[in-house]
C-alpha cells in the first residue's frame, strides 16, 4: 500500500516538473518572438530617420556651398578691381588744404603732390602753401603778415580696399616754413627786418579715396601735425627784455580735399 502511494506521488511530481519546464520554454519562446518583432519594427524607423538626417545635412551643405559661391564671387570682383590698379603705380594730385595754426587763425591754400604705390603701401611727396595771414598785435599798432609753406614725405598703409573705395592711414614728416613781414601802423614802435622761421613737423593722418575709374579719383584726408619749433612774435623792450605777443600753436589739425590722377 505504501509503495503504491509513493509511486503515485512520484508520478505526480514528475508531471508537475515537466509542466513547469514546458511553461518556461514557452515563455522563453514568446519573449524571443516579441524581441524579434520589436527589433524588426524599430529597424525601418531608424533607417528612415537616418535617411531624413542625411537629406537635411545635404541641404545644409548645399546652402553652405551657395554662400561660399557668393563669397567667392565678391572676392573675385574685389581682386579684379585691384588688378585694374597695377602695383607700382604713380599718381599725381592737386587740391586744397586748411589747417588751424592757432586758436583764432586758419591757413588756407593749395597743395600739390606725387605718389607711388607698392603693394599695400603708398608713399607720397607733397607741398603746400597758404594765403597770407594777418595778425594784429599790440592794440592794432602792430600787424604781422605771415605766409605758411611746407614740404613733406608720407608713408601710408592701405587699411581697406574694395572696388571704388580705399582707406589709408600712416605717418608724415617734413619741414614747415613761416615767412614773416611786420607793419607798424601807429605808435613809436620800429619794425625788424622780414625773416623766415623754420620748423620740423611730424604727424599722422587718414585718407579716404573714391576711385570711380582706374585713372581719376577724389581723396579726402585729415590729420594732426606736431611742430618742433613753432614761431612766436615778440617786442624787444629797453634793457633787452622780450615781451611775447603771440605764439603759433605747437600742433596743427588739418583737412585736405584733392583730385587724384593715375596716368
With helix as H, strand as E and coil as C, how does 147-201 read?
Answer: EEEEEEEEEEEEEEEECCEEEEEEEEEEEEEEEEEEEECCCCCCCCCCEEEEEEE
- 4 vs 33, residue with greater confidence: 33
The pLDDT of residue 167: 97
The pLDDT of residue 142: 76
Note the pLDDT tens digit of each residue in 167-182: 999 999 999 999 988 8
Q: What does the radius of gyration of the chain's CA atoms come to, in whole angstroms?
A: 46
Distances from the Cα of 204 to the Cα of 111, 154, 249, angstroms = 17, 9, 17
pLDDT(77) > 70: no
pTM comes to 0.64
Specify the CATH architecture of the domain 90-261. Answer: Beta Barrel (2.40)
Domain regions of the chain by residue span: 1-84, 90-261
The DSSP H or E segment spanning 236 is strand 232-236
The string of DSSP codes covering 63-110 is: HHHHHHHHHHHHHHHHHHHHHHS-SS-EEEEEEEEEEE-SSS-EEEEE
pLDDT(29) > 50: yes
Q: What is the mean pLDDT of residues 133-139?
A: 75
pLDDT(74) > 70: no
Which grid cell is 172?
608724415
Amino acid at each position: 500500500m505504501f509503495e503504491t502511494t509513493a509511486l503515485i506521488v512520484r508520478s505526480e511530481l514528475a508531471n508537475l516538473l515537466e509542466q513547469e519546464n514546458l511553461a518556461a520554454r514557452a515563455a522563453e519562446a514568446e519573449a524571443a518572438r516579441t524581441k524579434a518583432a520589436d527589433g524588426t519594427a524599430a529597424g525601418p524607423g531608424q533607417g528612415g530617420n537616418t535617411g531624413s538626417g542625411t537629406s537635411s545635412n545635404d541641404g545644409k551643405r548645399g546652402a553652405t556651398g551657395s554662400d561660399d559661391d557668393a563669397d567667392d564671387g565678391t572676392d573675385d570682383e574685389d581682386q579684379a578691381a585691384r588688378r585694374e590698379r597695377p602695383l607700382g603705380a604713380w599718381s599725381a594730385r592737386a587740391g586744397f588744404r586748411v589747417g588751424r595754426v592757432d586758436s583764432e587763425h586758419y591757413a588756407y591754400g593749395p597743395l600739390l603732390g606725387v605718389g607711388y604705390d607698392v603693394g599695400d603701401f603708398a608713399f607720397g611727396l607733397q607741398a603746400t602753401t597758404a594765403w597770407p595771414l594777418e595778425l594784429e598785435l599790440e592794440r592794432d599798432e602792430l600787424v604781422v603778415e605771415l605766409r605758411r609753406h611746407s614740404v613733406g614725405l608720407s608713408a601710408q598703409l592701405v587699411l581697406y580696399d574694395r572696388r571704388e573705395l580705399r582707406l589709408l592711414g600712416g605717418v608724415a614728416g617734413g619741414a614747415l616754413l613761416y615767412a614773416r613781414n611786420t607793419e607798424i601802423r601807429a605808435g613809436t614802435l620800429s619794425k625788424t627786418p622780414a625773416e623766415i622761421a623754420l620748423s620740423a613737423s611730424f604727424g599722422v593722418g587718414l585718407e579716404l579715396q573714391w576711385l570711380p575709374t582706374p585713372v581719376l579719383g577724389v581723396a579726402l584726408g585729415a590729420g594732426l601735425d606736431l611742430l618742433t619749433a613753432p614761431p612766436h612774435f615778440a617786442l624787444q623792450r629797453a634793457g633787452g627784455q622780450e615781451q611775447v605777443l603771440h605764439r603759433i600753436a605747437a600742433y596743427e589739425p588739418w583737412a585736405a580735399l584733392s583730385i587724384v590722377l593715375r596716368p
